[in-house]
Amino acid sequence: MKNAVPLPAFQDNYIWSWFDGKAAVVVDPGDADVVTAWLEANDYPLQDILLTHWHPDHTGGVDTLRQRYGARVIGPAAERERLPALDVAVVEGDHVASGGEDFTVMEIPGHTLGHIAYVGADCVFCGDTLFHTGCGRLFEGEPEQMYQSLARLAALPEHTTVYCTHEYTLANLAFARRVEPDHDLLRQVEADAKQRRAQDAPTLPTTIGAQRAFNPFLRADEVALAEAVSGMVGQAVPPGVDTFAALRALKDRS
């Protein structure tokens, strides 16, 4: 997908939006005003609202947008009771045709228990599960769940464009550099991200291939990273889910 537009909302949210020539689609619209301004400025009708999970900063604008534009609302069946009313409730493996794209639903619990991603031919809208150089907090799930969810995302083709929903990149890079201060690629990525943010430009989207290369939360199986984490926590931590859990705990305290 090459035409997705990040609409900044709140302090650091992005509402990903696109127009397929006939109608517009938005993902996780926490703020209706931001979306309305974009639609009205371009004279776009709103066709669909895609939701990845129930948190209010991703759903707060849904009712207003539905009432104003009659948009169809699609979201995870597992979180139906905590979401605005859904027109289409989806589960693992369901197919969603929206905005000229064909998506497959992937269940990726961890941040919330019913969190989903929309996987397209060359893109993924992953909500608050995978971030640029980071991952979401475990508000409801266990480390094993998030570890497995991230592994599923990491298994997507490396060219897959990743549409995350928060501008957390600089803070994530600062943490990653503390874990691996001698990682040359992280140093280069941080310099580029700082330049982008100094120009008020987003650091997103990213790609699966890029995240595999330097995101520590996708590299918890690496022995060198496990050794670095072990040094930070003062005890031996085996590679895999234990290293992931230790990383997440360290990030939560940072």
Which residue is catalytic, options 28, 48, 111, 115?
A: 111
In this structure, are residues 166 and 14 in contact, taking their beta carbons and an 8 Å threshold? yes
Which residue is catalytic, options 48, 57, 94, 242?
A: 57
Is 166 catalytic? The answer is yes
Helix ranges (DSSP H) in 53-165: 56-59, 62-69, 143-154
Greatest pairwise CA separation for the chain in angstroms: 58
Which residue is catalytic, options 31, 53, 115, 242?
A: 53
- Residue 206: DSSP 8-state: E
26 sits in which H/E element: strand 24-27
Helix (H, G, I), strand (E, B) or coil at 201: coil
Which residue is catalytic, options 48, 55, 94, 242?
A: 55
In this structure, are residues 115 and 127 in contact, taking their beta carbons and an 8 Å threshold? yes
Is 57 catalytic? The answer is yes
Which residue is catalytic, options 128, 132, 183, 242?
A: 128
Q: Could you identify the residue written with the tokens 């534009």? A: 69
Which residue is catalytic, options 115, 166, 183, 242?
A: 166
Is 128 catalytic? The answer is yes
Which residue is catalytic, options 58, 115, 132, 183?
A: 58
* Residues identified as active-site: 53, 55, 57-58, 111, 128, 166
